[in-house]
């Protein structure tokens, strides 16, 4: 999964193509629980580019998007927000796939 490196990159990616931004942090135990299943989720949903957003590095972006719990997911298609799965609760592989299928 690609890691977001700048706000310019976020704005460019958000505006062009289909992206799912995963908001996370290295210290987050609920985020680490889903790490093993993320490659399979990415592979099964290859129409999207998945991007890891470190919550600590991009705290202002989190505030702008209303992402106050992690792990969380926000999907965009050519600048339009398709959907969000934002909460502080632990997420299962099935819940994440259900969110993506509903976009």
For 17-31, how does the pLDDT look when each residue is reduced to its tens digit (9 = 90+)? 999 999 999 999 999
Task: Quote the percentage of the chain above a pLDDT of 70.
Answer: 100
User: What is the C-alpha to C-alpha distance for residues 57 and 101, in angstroms, rounded to an integer?
Assistant: 29
**The pLDDT of residue 88:** 85
Task: Quote the percentage of the chain above a pLDDT of 90.
Answer: 97
Kindly state the helix (H) or strand (E) to which residue 96 belongs, with its residue range.
helix 93-101
Domain of residue 84, CATH code: 3.40.30.10
User: What is the C-alpha to C-alpha distance for residues 98 and 31, in angstroms, rounded to an integer?
Assistant: 18
Res. 1: pLDDT tops 90: yes
Catalytic entry in 31, 38, 41, 61: 31
User: What is the C-alpha to C-alpha distance for residues 13 and 15, in angstroms, rounded to an integer?
Assistant: 5
Catalytic entry in 4, 20, 28, 96: 28
Domain extent, residue 22, equals 2-101
- Count up the domains in the chain and report the number: 1
The helix/strand/coil state of 25 is coil
62 a catalytic residue = no
31 a catalytic residue = yes
């Amino acid at each position: 999964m690609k890691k977001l490196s700048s706000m310019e990159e976020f704005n460019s990616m958000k505006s062009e193509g289909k992206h799912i931004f995963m908001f996370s942090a290295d210290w987050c135990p609920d985020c680490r629980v889903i790490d093993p299943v993320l490659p399979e989720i990415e592979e099964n949903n290859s129409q999207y580019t998945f991007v890891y957003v470190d919550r600590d590095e991009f705290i202002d972006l989190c505030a702008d998007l209303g992402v106050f719990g992690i792990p969380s997911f926000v999907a965009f298609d050519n600048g339009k927000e398709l959907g969000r799965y934002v909460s502080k609760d632990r997420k299962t592989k099935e819940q994440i796939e259900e969110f993506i299928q509903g976009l």
